[in-house]
Chain A
Amino acid sequence: MAKVEIPIGPQHPALKEPENFVLSLDGERIVGAAVNLGYNHRGVEKGCEGRNYTQCLYLIERVCGICSHSHSTSFSKAVEELAGIEVPRRAHWIRSLVGELERLHSHMLWLGVAGHELGFDTLFMLSWRDRELVLDLLAKITGNRVNYGANKLGGVRSDIDDKVTEEIRVVIKKFSEAVKYYIEVVTTEPTLAARMLGVGKLSHEDAVTFGAAGPVARAANVDRDVRRDDPYAAYDEIPFDVITDDHADVFGRAIVRAKEMAVSCEIILYIIDNIPDGELITKIPRKIPEGEVFSRYEAPRGEDVHFIKSNGSDKPERVKVRAPTSANAASIALMLQDNYLADAPIIIAAIDPCFSCTDRSIALIDHSSGREGMLDWRALRQYSVDWYKNQGISFDDLSKSLSKRM
């Protein structure tokens, strides 16, 4: 049969966010894959340059809907380091607590998505039901289910009292029972194993070469975890295991994530037993001294990196966010190679992609010549006006009447 090119995305039922994968098929087998990112650029980094540090924190928290705490912790950690202030110990512990709760609900979300991609909707429904336990807990602690806003520059916003502590204990005990069940399901259900074993292989060497991060790397036996290697928040005082696995395929990634949930439950129980008393916040100056800082954080999806360059004013000169998905996106094409079309959704889902967090830039490429170029604001605006005119939509009257009013 002739080779067919099948597009997955930008709009496709398997994708929750707009991205494009072009698969070349020989029958059902994938012989080539291209990953096209850049459908969801939101200009968060540019937006940060026009805001002061406190406002930036709100914007940065909205980089991702699932690992919002990861981004805000990574950012505030960087700013605190630049300002040279010491965050109270209790604040560190609460940051770790919220971070681990976030890992729980993120991994549970992934498990459900993976089940859905494999046509196992029961797993999807049940795991998302149990995920609600954690979301409700986060709402109890911080007031919100997502975008918790737990962090402030210099500390945290919300405290936990005895009543909440007791509730966390009860819920997490219940949740870890559920996790045990899901570990059993993932490792013993024959149809799940048939769909995950040996699918989307990424060898140890390739994982290192392509710079894979988080569970994707750990499933290929790359023993990396920022929480242990470069401790932040309270992780230098908390004992925990780093889960690795040597399956190096989707099955390994599922096992790593499932077991990490069990570890996170233990960490949370340790935190509420050993959390020190004290202040929640240290005052931070409005203007941050000149300097550059590089901040790492182990988000549920992998290593999240923030870079901040400060020029001594109350606004950052440059903010750079590298979400974990962009570390893993490079290896997707490799993982897709030589698998079946039927496996493409689960292989893509197995890196737990979060594409809107990843998209940082748009390349402007002329189709005929292949040259790359840049557009300034005025040219970009003119381009969009012309484009809409070509479609028969004109905003001329509207902009005239608007400019009259202003």
Chain B
Amino acid sequence: MAIVQILLFPGLLFLALYATLLEFFDRKVYARLQNRKGPPWYQPIADFIKLLGKETIIPDDANRALFLALPVIALTAVSTAFLSVPIWGTEAVMSFPGDMIVVLVLLTLIPLCFFAAGWNSSSMFSTIGAQRILTQLFAYEVPLLMAIMGPALMTGSWSLSEIAAFYAANPLLALLNIPGFVVGILAAQGKLERVPFDTPEAETEIVAGALTEYSGRPYALFHLAVDMELVVLPAIFAAVFIPIFVPNPILGFGLFILKTLVILFILTAIRASMARVRVEQMVRFCWTILMPLALVHLLINLIAKGLIA
């Protein structure tokens, strides 16, 4: 049973398919906001299949094994993280005390994979892209962690499933998490490398950033990993910040889809309505605005917990 859950549902296969669906949703909404028609629903899948058939070119100076292994590591990290995120109810497939930390660490692995990929490619554009990825990582990672820490402190648990269960029982307490939600959404834009924080892959500056030298199958896998991140982050936010759960698994699953789509819509709307900021502006924004906001969020939760107790 566990193997089915890991490989088919809600594991790898479902995650991959839902990731392509979310990419389609993202692109379609983005296009409609720009008064364009947008791609058909199968476009991300078609892209993926086509990329699989393309030639893989590896730079002479790059370490071959590392070049090919990095996309797989990224993909593994993100799909493993997904297993500990609650989907149809408040209980995840693999929930254990402290899974929140594991999920966040696994998600941090992805930017590190990108960084290593860019650095290993040894091209000018990818090296600069890699530097920017690390710079951004130091800026958004702490606010993102603190945004999720607030609910964790309130619940007194390091497990995403237990946090979800706690808010399912006390939905009104989730109102305290609004600052955390804002911080989380903005930090997620940085983590997902989307406008306004998409400097690591700024097309008009450094071509495709860290992934400039990637092509064919490794690129397809990297792309899929990014799409999966697009599922996992909204799924975490849905579990932690949106305290609406139903006991029925099928309805709960529908609710999960709805919640992730709503969060993705917010992310896409931000992407469509802003310009890209410079990397040093991004760092300043994260430390001077997101960080204090995240601290306030923690403080509110601590005080509220004290009052309740």
B274 at interface, CB cutoff 8 A: yes
Contacting residue for B34 out of A12, A121, A189, CB 8 A: A121
Contacting residue for B278 out of A115, A116, A342, CB 8 A: A342
CA distance A115 to B34 in the complex (A): 13
* CB pair B36 A342 closer than 8 Å: no
* CB pair B205 A14 closer than 8 Å: yes
Which of B78-86, B110-118, B143-151, B193-201 faces chain A? B193-201
B7 at interface, CB cutoff 8 A: no
CA distance A38 to B128 in the complex (A): 28
Chain A residues with CB below 8 A from B199, complex form: 342
CA distance A6 to B125 in the complex (A): 8
* CB pair B128 A115 closer than 8 Å: no
* CB pair A118 B124 closer than 8 Å: no
Chain B residues with CB below 8 A from A4, complex form: 124, 127-128
Which chain A residue lies CB-closest to B281? Answer: A194
Chain B residues with CB below 8 A from A118, complex form: 275-276
Chain B residues with CB below 8 A from A139, complex form: none
B202 at interface, CB cutoff 8 A: yes
Within 8 A of B (CB), among A99-142: 115-123, 125-126, 129
* CB pair B205 A189 closer than 8 Å: no
Chain A residues with CB below 8 A from B125, complex form: 6
* CB pair A342 B275 closer than 8 Å: no
**B41 → A minimal CB distance (Å):** 21
The answer to whether A126 and B34 touch (CB under 8 A), given A6-B128, A343-B278, is: yes
**B202 → A minimal CB distance (Å):** 6
Chain A residues with CB below 8 A from B124, complex form: 4, 6-7
* Cross-chain pair count, CB within 8 angstroms: 80
The answer to whether A345 and B274 touch (CB under 8 A), given A125-B34, A194-B281, A340-B280, is: no
CA distance A76 to B281 in the complex (A): 50
Which chain A residue lies CB-closest to B34? Answer: A125
B288 at interface, CB cutoff 8 A: no
**B282 → A minimal CB distance (Å):** 10
* CB pair B196 A117 closer than 8 Å: no
B272 at interface, CB cutoff 8 A: yes
* CB pair A122 B280 closer than 8 Å: no
Which chain A residue lies CB-closest to B284? Answer: A194
CA distance A115 to B124 in the complex (A): 25
Chain B residues with CB below 8 A from A123, complex form: 275
CA distance A404 to B271 in the complex (A): 63
Chain A residues with CB below 8 A from B128, complex form: 4, 6, 25, 28, 341
CA distance A344 to B278 in the complex (A): 11
CA distance A318 to B160 in the complex (A): 78
**B40 → A minimal CB distance (Å):** 19
Contacting residue for A125 out of B35, B198, B275, B279, CB 8 A: B35
CA distance A342 to B205 in the complex (A): 6
B170 at interface, CB cutoff 8 A: no
* Residues 240-280 of chain B, each 1 if its beta carbon lies under 8 Å from chain A, else 0: 00000000000000000000000000000000111111111
Chain B residues with CB below 8 A from A116, complex form: 204
Which chain B residue lies CB-closest to A344? Answer: B205
Contacting residue for B279 out of A7, A120, A342, CB 8 A: A342
B8 at interface, CB cutoff 8 A: no
CA distance A316 to B196 in the complex (A): 53
* CB pair B274 A120 closer than 8 Å: yes
Chain B residues with CB below 8 A from A345, complex form: 204-205
B203 at interface, CB cutoff 8 A: yes
CA distance A25 to B207 in the complex (A): 17
Chain B residues with a Cβ under 8 A of chain A: 33-36, 124-125, 127-128, 195-196, 198-199, 202-207, 272-281
Chain A residues with a Cβ under 8 A of chain B: 4, 6-7, 12-14, 25, 28, 115-123, 125-126, 129, 189, 191-192, 194-195, 340-345
A-B pairs with beta carbons under 8 Å apart, 9 shown: A12-B207, A116-B204, A120-B274, A123-B275, A125-B35, A125-B36, A189-B275, A341-B128, A344-B205
- Apart from A6-B124, A119-B198, A195-B277, what 20 extra A-B contacts exist at CB < 8 Å? A4-B124, A12-B207, A14-B204, A28-B128, A116-B204, A119-B195, A120-B274, A122-B34, A122-B273, A125-B35, A189-B274, A191-B274, A191-B275, A191-B276, A194-B275, A194-B278, A195-B276, A195-B278, A341-B205, A344-B205
